[in-house]
Amino acid sequence: MDLAYTAFQRAFLKETGLDLTSYKQRQMQRRIDQWMNRHGLNSYNDLIKLIQEDPEKREEFLGYLTINTSQFFRDKKVFDNIKDLILPQWQRQNIAPRIWSAGTSIGAEAYSMAILLQEARLHYSILATDIDEEALQQARSGFYREHQLQGVPPEVLKAYFTKEGDGYRVVESLQRGIIFRRHNLLEDPFGRAFDMILCRNVFIYFTWETQERLLQDFARALRREGYFISGSAEQMTDPGKHGLKRVAHCIYQLEK
């Protein structure tokens, strides 16, 4: 065991509330070392001192560690499946879905869902959460530069964004249906009775035990027959254990 790293994990938890033991160690340590090299820090103690003394660096480091890359309509096939398989069901059953985008990052995932739901003329509410305050700030602003809008078809860009300076801002009607909130998946309580939970490209950073625990918590947070959406690089080892059945690529449904 790496004692220096264990001591760092403890100090870091105390400072930030983020429990690094739940994340895959090799990957985390590599990222931490990279950041320390880049900032000329020689020890974990120096790093702890820096985040104690400099709130801006603390946020920057947290953002770097939790990797908040995202895109609109990321893994298009998944959004196509949601559109073709799930939205018609909700329309037929006259459901106004409650959706949770967990680990939403800059909000692209939540806005992509909102666009699909508006196109389908469904009423909805979306809760979008992340641990990273900086990513949430961008999500709330709804402002994106062109490179972040690569997955957005031109007709969608025209209908749901307005050009502003060197980027685009989502229209107000999209912003209105989404609540962005800070939430630590490892620590904070989960809501209940969601019709859909998206937690994509977040599990990959967690240890297997943490993934198992989270999947159980997500299953409990769904209403019966609600949907859990994973990222395409994520393997759910035994979804059946939590009452979840795979119904399509990255889509799992809680049994009745």
Ligand X SMILES: C[S@@+](CC[C@H](N)C(=O)[O-])C[C@H]1O[C@@H](n2cnc3c(N)ncnc32)[C@H](O)[C@@H]1O
Residues that bind ligand X (CB under 6 A): 66-70, 74, 103-105, 109, 130-132, 135, 183-186, 200-202, 231
Query: Smallest distance from the beta carbon of 133 to ligand X, in angstroms?
Result: 9
Nearer to ligand X among residue 91 and residue 184 (C-beta): 184
Q: What is the Cβ-side half-sphere exposure of residue 255, based on CA atoms within 13 angstroms?
A: 7
Q: Which is nearer to ligand X, 8 or 206 (CB)?
A: 206
Q: Closest separation between CB of residue 93 and ligand X, Å? A: 26
Q: Any idea of the CA torsion for 73, 76, 80, 83, to the nearest 10 degrees?
A: -10
167-170 vs 143-145, strand pairing mode:
antiparallel
Query: CA geometry: angle at 227 spanning 221 and 231, to 5°?
Result: 100
Closest to ligand X by CB, 65 or 244: 65
Q: Which is nearer to ligand X, 30 or 163 (CB)?
A: 30
Could you tell me if 252 and 77 are in contact, meaning their C-beta atoms sit under 8 angstroms apart?
Answer: no
Pairwise CA distance, residues 134 & 63, whole Å: 7
Question: What's the rounded Cα separation, in Å, for the pair 34 and 169?
Answer: 33
How far apart are CB 210 and ligand X at their closest, in Å?
9
The least distance separating ligand X from the CB of residue 103, rounded to whole angstroms, comes to 3
Asked if residues 244 and 219 have their Cβ atoms less than 8 Å apart, the reply is: yes
Give the C-alpha separation, 11 to 187, whole Å.
17
Kindly state the smallest distance separating residue 141's Cβ from ligand X, in Å. Answer: 15
Cβ nearer to ligand X, comparing 69 with 93: 69
The nearer residue to ligand X, 44 or 72, going by C-beta atoms, is 72
* Interatomic CA distance for residues 191 and 221, integer angstroms: 6
Least distance (Å) from ligand X to the CB of residue 110?
9
